[in-house]
Amino acid sequence: MANKTVLIVEDEPSVVDLLKFLLEKDGYTTAVAFDGEEALKQVTAARPDLILLDIMLPKIDGYTVQKQLQADEKTANIPTIVLTAKGGMQDMFQFEKNIVAFIEKPFDPKILREKVKEVLNV
C-alpha cells in the first residue's frame, strides 16, 4: 500500500491521540494541527491525501479553513472528513465538492476507519 498522509485538524489532545493511534495502526502517516492557522500551514508542508477537520478550532475555525483551502487550486481537491460535536453542520458544507463525509463526535472508531479506507481507496 502506498503510504498515505492524513492531516488531523483537532484541538482536543485526547481526540488527536486516538485518531493518530487508529490511523497509524492502519498504516497511514499522520500530521497534526491543533488550530486552524496551523492547519493551513500543515496542508502546504504535509501535502495530505485526506484531512480530518474539526469545526470548532482556536484562531481560525474549520469552516474558514475549508473556505481558504477551496480558494487555492492546489488544495481545493483534498478530500475532507468533517469531525464535529456540533450537529447540523452538513448544510454549511453542502456545496463543497471535497467534503466526503460528516462524522459526529463522539464517533465510532470503526466507522471512522472504514470511511478513511473508502476515501483513500485502500
pLDDT of residue 121: 87
- Stretch 95-122: mean pLDDT, rounded? 90
- Stretch 75-104: mean pLDDT, rounded? 81
pLDDT greater at residue 8 or residue 122: 8
3-state secondary structure of 103: strand
Please name the residues in contact with 61: beta carbons below 8 A apart, sequence gap of 6 or more. Answer: 36, 55
Confidence (pTM): 0.92
pLDDT of residue 97: 80
Residues β-bridged to residue 63:
none
pLDDT band at 85 (very low <50, low <70, confident <90, very high): confident
pLDDT of residue 34: 98
pLDDT tens-place string over residues 46-78: 899 999 999 999 999 999 999 999 999 999 999
- Stretch 81-107: mean pLDDT, rounded? 79
- Residue 57 contacts residue 65 (beta carbons within 8 Å): yes
| Domain 5-119 belongs in CATH node 3.40.50.300 | no
Give the number of residues written for the chain.
122
pLDDT tens-place string over residues 1-39: 458 999 999 999 999 999 999 999 999 999 999 999 999
Distance (Å, rounded) from C-alpha 114 to C-alpha 118?
6
